Structure 1
Amino acid sequence: MTMTPPRFALLRRVTCLACFGLALVAATPRADAQISLLQQTVAEATMGDESLASFYRDRGFEPLWAGADAASLERRSALLAAMAQTTAHGLPSWQGEIDALLAELRAAQTLTERGRAEVAVSRAYLKFARALQTGILEPGRVVRDIRREVPYRSADELLMLVADNPPRSAMRKLSPATREYARLMREKFTLERRIARGGWGPQVPSGKYERGMSGPGVIALRNRLIAMDYLAPTARAGFDSTMHDAVELFQADHGLIVDGIVGGDTLRAMNVDADERLRSVLVAMERERWMNLPGGLGKRHIRVNLPEFMARVYDDDKLTFETRAVIGARGDDRESPEFSDEMEHMVVNPSWYVPRSIVVNEYLPLLRQNPYSVGHIEITDSRGRRVNRAAGFSQYGPQSFPFSMRQPPGPKNALGQVKFMFPNRYNIYLHDTPSQHLFADDVRAYSHGCIRLDDPYDLAYVLLAPQSDDPKGLFQSRLRGGRESRIDLETHVPVHLMYRTAYTTPKGHVQYRHDIYGRDAAIWRALERAGVSLEVGRS
């Protein structure tokens, strides 16, 4: 017996709403008194929910969904059809909500019942629309350091989208319209199909594999590369130059040292199963929904992808500059947070005003033992006067230490010679660093939370180019002056500190990175609790 796939069965059930609409046309007179009763019921049902009541007041409490006209029927059908496809977006199945709405709509025989059904459909639509548009999780409640302000739309805006547009078009406009979201969804389907066929096959045995080798391990490596689409199907059993090139491409896509040798980190990444990669993609789709800003990320903007240790400038969605980055070290109070803000200015030859947490946790213990330690740092009182170290600091604890600490400008300043400011409550910014050796590492998590840049001067030139005929000359003249100097940006630049362990390139390559802070694992657990599953073979 042939089984009907659950999604198509659900879509077929949705079509029964046409019967409901025809029944209303035949059975419902258009008397003003009866219309008023429906409208009165809608008004009563929206009391206490000002956002919903406002929308209906503006339309005289006329129904959007539960009318007897063809437009209302089309809206109902489009909504329920869209709800039936939520798993394609990595969201929980909406079947329970669909069943409840179908039951309420079928039972709505009187005008009062239709008015209540109208509001019930609107509430269900708003829940669905917000999930598809801006995600099902509140990020800060899942991970403390995700300080992102999710761009929730108002009920009035979401309902007007349906009222003013063809219904199916309105439903399509709910999910993020970014190329990144589309490419992630495509990767989701690709992984699901692969998993349904058994995944990527047996893992590659432990060991080290390089060009010129052969044997069972190399065959397992060959088969896995073929399954992952890095190598064309072949019967060759040796590690030849073609396999070497395939390994290098895999390494590049996973942020590894590109040397064509399989062992250590490359072997571990190679043996991650397709299910785990699919989880990363589903988390990335939820994260993309959290950043579904009405105007996009900005005509010109900066993205820092923390697990990738990279900072990039985009103009009109095209990459125009990139540089390696150092992010916050793993552990409490040092991990870089996630948020968005606007860069307003840069400071050339900055002073470093030492954060209170570093003062009391790192420097005070040293000063209590030796008041002349950390001599490159000035200690000042509340009036900015330098403190005489001879009196010592053994009498102070973390709560009672009354002084501030500052490192003057100079080549050894902890911030280097330029910092880029997007004022925020977390005291996070981008800056130069004298510790250039750190950029040679693959995993660059060393800071106290701020983002250190490998090529800060070049970033300064890029940012100043729109407002100066000689951006390099402008910057260098301030730098040579030696004094702390502020340069305002005439046009502020949005900065997005992001966290993506799965992301795509403009050419469609999907990149994967290690979940360095464990945030994606926490998000996946929250998604599972909300009802998300891998849905293998069902999308």
Structure 2
Amino acid sequence: MNSQGGARAAIFRVVAVCAMAVVLHLVSIAPASAQVTAFKQAIAEAAAKDKDLAAFYKANKFKPIWVGRTGKDRSRREAFIKAVRAAPMHGLPAPKYAIDDLVARMKSVKGAEARAQLEVDISTTFLEYATDMQTGAVDPRRIDPVFMVRQVPYRSRVSYLTNLVKSSPRGFFKALAPRSEEYARLMKAKLTYEKALARGGWGPKVPAKSLKPGASGAPVVALRNRLVAMGYMKRSSSASYDGALAAGVQQFQLAHGLTPDGVAGAGTMIEINTGMDKRLQSIIVAMERERWMNIPEGRGKRHVLVNIPDFTAKIMDNGKVTFETITVVGKNDPDRETPEFSDVMEFMVINPSWYVPRSIATKEYLPLLRRNSGAVRHLEITDSRGRVVNRGAVNFAQYNERNFPFNMRQPPSRRNALGLVKFMFPNKHNIYLHDTPAKNLFDRERRDFSHGCVRLGKPFDFAYALLARQESNPEAYFQSVLNTGSETRVNLKQDVPVHIIYRTAYTTPKGQMQFRRDVYNRDRKIFAALSRAGVSLRAVQG
């Protein structure tokens, strides 16, 4: 064989060797490639029933984020398991997430389809947990669609998955819970109460309907022991209702929104005998409510906070109370309760007219007019064009709630139902803050008397505080407008968010718990909904 033929043979041998190598390589990788394709197809099929999951996995090219073998996948799994196991600390429904079942499947899963299904099941549970932690486990509008109308700031479900992939897993899960100081203090109080519950709580209830200073005997000892256990007074061996016990009762009353007279009357005794489990329920509900208000942009550096069962309105500046006044809120009646929502205050009206809501005009005033057309003389009756109607020319007996064609208005005066100023944050509920001529109602301990709007104990001072941002002498300015006697709109140069909330449990800046009566029974409904979701009370050893 010549040299040219030898060279060609050598080339053929090299080509053959290379071809064989390619074949062997293809043979070796074909099963793995097929497995990858089958796995991704299985993920696509498992996620198809949930449009958000389907969208995420399609964008992620159907790659796993949980059941893969990378360090990042492992870190996500570990952070997820740790976070979900801590769900009871936050008052969340741990059984709903079935984390033990998921962990068992993680350890034993085999096959592409089973792994894909597990991947999607973990993502489904992750979305439930993340949503519950950040914005609440129950929807307030499903509990009470009429009055619990707060718009919960739900996030996009896809964004949870997308942000998780981009973030440090530990940091992501840590950032889900509300970052407010109030939430942190409530969570700390919850653990304190759970530990105390494991030790037996506050001990026996006081065997008396009421007790007064000067009393003595076993019921007084029981009262003293219970207040000591609650932390409202120091331990003493006295069996009489002395000054120290009266001071302890007074401290309890202050922390529960009761008249601080130091007398354990019937109302105070009911609150003293309320069990620790009930107070713990209130704390858990308060944490849930805090999640409902976990607004990404915050509540506003300056905002107004109205707590319905606390009967207070506060101006908050950078997290500090800079003004506070007592309030009267809606009556505990299906037609009069004050709703929970947030809006933005835009202006105030000085010397306001009261335009009577139709429900009040037809249900309360029309029956009086049907009996006597001269009734409710303090109100003008106007037609659809705003013209005052001659009462004597109208047969009111022909009208009912459905066909009453008139409007009713009370002109500005010191006797006006709105008093001399109202604060407007236009909303579909027709709720606002205002003055009132019925000052005597502010002397009551429980102040649910209005038709739904919030009456302020110090409306002028409230106005001064709002105007201080735009007037060099807010009081003088306000009084000058007031003295005109004319209805005048005063715009706020900077809108102020208003949050009408319902908290029967909240904390002071130093962390002491405050409790209030559930005047509308809303907390009871919320805890019942949380219980149905899987939340339960627990006693923690330690």
Q: TM-score, normalised by structure 2?
A: 0.90
What CA RMSD, in Å, does the superposition of the two structures yield over aligned residues? 2.1
- The match for 1:284 among 279, 286, 293 is 286
Q: Is contact 2:136–2:291 with CA below 8 Å preserved after alignment?
A: yes
- C-alpha distance in 2, partners of 1:203/1:372? 56
- The match for 1:157 among 153, 156, 159 is 159
Are residues 1:468 and 2:476 paired? Answer: no
Alpha-carbon spacing, 1:471–1:62, altered in 2? closer, same or farther (3 Å) = farther
Q: How big is the shift at 1:381?
A: 0.8
Could you say which residue in structure 1 is the equivalent of 2:422?
A: 419
Are residues 1:450 and 2:456 paired? Answer: no
Could you say which residue in structure 1 is the equivalent of 2:326?
A: 324
- C-alpha distance in 1, partners of 2:348/2:255? 33
- C-alpha distance in 2, partners of 1:117/1:93? 19
- C-alpha distance in 1, partners of 2:448/2:161? 45
Q: How big is the shift at 1:281?
A: 1.2
Matched residue SS, 1:136: coil
- C-alpha distance in 1, partners of 2:115/2:366? 70
Could you say which residue in structure 2 is the equivalent of 1:129?
A: 130
- The match for 2:341 among 339, 342, 349 is 339
Are residues 1:46 and 2:20 paired? Answer: no
Alpha-carbon spacing, 1:51–1:466, altered in 2? closer, same or farther (3 Å) = farther
Alpha-carbon spacing, 1:444–1:349, altered in 2? closer, same or farther (3 Å) = same
Matched residue SS, 1:243: helix
Mapping of residues 9-88 of structure 1, within 5 Å:
34-47=35-48, 49-88=50-89
Superposed CA deviations along residues 84-131 of structure 1, whole A, max 9, x for unmatched, are 121111122237621332344345433444333222211110011111
Q: How big is the shift at 1:538?
A: 6.6
Superposed CA deviations along residues 333-361 of structure 1, whole A, max 9, x for unmatched, are 11111111111111111111100100110
Superposed CA deviations along residues 348-393 of structure 1, whole A, max 9, x for unmatched, are 1111110010011000000011111111111111111111111231
Alpha-carbon spacing, 1:34–1:207, altered in 2? closer, same or farther (3 Å) = closer
The amino acid across from 2:255 in the alignment is D
The amino acid across from 2:131 in the alignment is R
Number of paired residues?
512
The amino acid across from 1:76 in the alignment is R
Could you say which residue in structure 1 is the equivalent of 2:398?
A: 395
- C-alpha distance in 2, partners of 1:297/1:164? 27
Mapping of residues 19-418 of structure 1, within 5 Å:
34-47=35-48, 49-94=50-95, 97-144=98-145, 145-206=147-208, 208-391=210-393, 392-418=395-421
The amino acid across from 1:289 in the alignment is R
Q: Is contact 2:84–2:97 with CA below 8 Å preserved after alignment?
A: no
Q: How big is the shift at 1:510?
A: 0.6
Alpha-carbon spacing, 1:34–1:399, altered in 2? closer, same or farther (3 Å) = same
The amino acid across from 2:183 in the alignment is Y
After TM superposition, the structure 1 stretch with the greater mean CA deviation from structure 2, 35-44 or 344-353, is: 35-44
Alpha-carbon spacing, 1:115–1:363, altered in 2? closer, same or farther (3 Å) = same
Q: How big is the shift at 1:413?
A: 0.9
Matched residue SS, 1:313: strand
- The match for 1:494 among 480, 493, 497 is 497
Q: Is contact 1:84–1:94 with CA below 8 Å preserved after alignment?
A: no
Q: Is contact 2:256–2:515 with CA below 8 Å preserved after alignment?
A: yes
Matched residue SS, 1:481: coil
After TM superposition, the structure 1 stretch with the greater mean CA deviation from structure 2, 305-314 or 460-469, is: 460-469
- C-alpha distance in 2, partners of 1:461/1:329? 28
- C-alpha distance in 2, partners of 1:30/1:170? 36
- C-alpha distance in 1, partners of 2:30/2:86? 35
Could you say which residue in structure 2 is the equivalent of 1:18?
A: none
Q: How big is the shift at 1:310?
A: 0.5
- C-alpha distance in 1, partners of 2:295/2:529? 23
Superposed CA deviations along residues 243-275 of structure 1, whole A, max 9, x for unmatched, are 332221111001111122222222121111111
Q: How big is the shift at 1:48?
A: 5.2
- C-alpha distance in 2, partners of 1:347/1:48? 53
Q: Is contact 1:84–1:95 with CA below 8 Å preserved after alignment?
A: no
Q: Is contact 1:83–1:94 with CA below 8 Å preserved after alignment?
A: no
- Return 5+ residue gaps in structure 1 as ranges: 1-27
Alpha-carbon spacing, 1:353–1:84, altered in 2? closer, same or farther (3 Å) = same
Q: Is contact 1:415–1:431 with CA below 8 Å preserved after alignment?
A: yes
Alpha-carbon spacing, 1:37–1:538, altered in 2? closer, same or farther (3 Å) = farther
Superposed CA deviations along residues 19-46 of structure 1, whole A, max 9, x for unmatched, are xxxxxxxxx9996665454444434433
Matched residue SS, 2:65: coil
Q: How big is the shift at 1:61?
A: 3.2
Could you say which residue in structure 1 is the equivalent of 2:9?
A: none
Q: How big is the shift at 1:437?
A: 1.2
Q: Is contact 1:334–1:448 with CA below 8 Å preserved after alignment?
A: yes
Q: How big is the shift at 1:306?
A: 0.6
- C-alpha distance in 2, partners of 1:97/1:60? 28
Are residues 1:478 and 2:481 paired? Answer: yes
After TM superposition, the structure 1 stretch with the greater mean CA deviation from structure 2, 117-126 or 44-53, is: 44-53
- C-alpha distance in 1, partners of 2:386/2:516? 45
Superposed CA deviations along residues 443-485 of structure 1, whole A, max 9, x for unmatched, are 1111000000011111111112222222223322221222111
Q: Is contact 2:97–2:125 with CA below 8 Å preserved after alignment?
A: no
- C-alpha distance in 1, partners of 2:279/2:382? 51
Matched residue SS, 1:308: coil
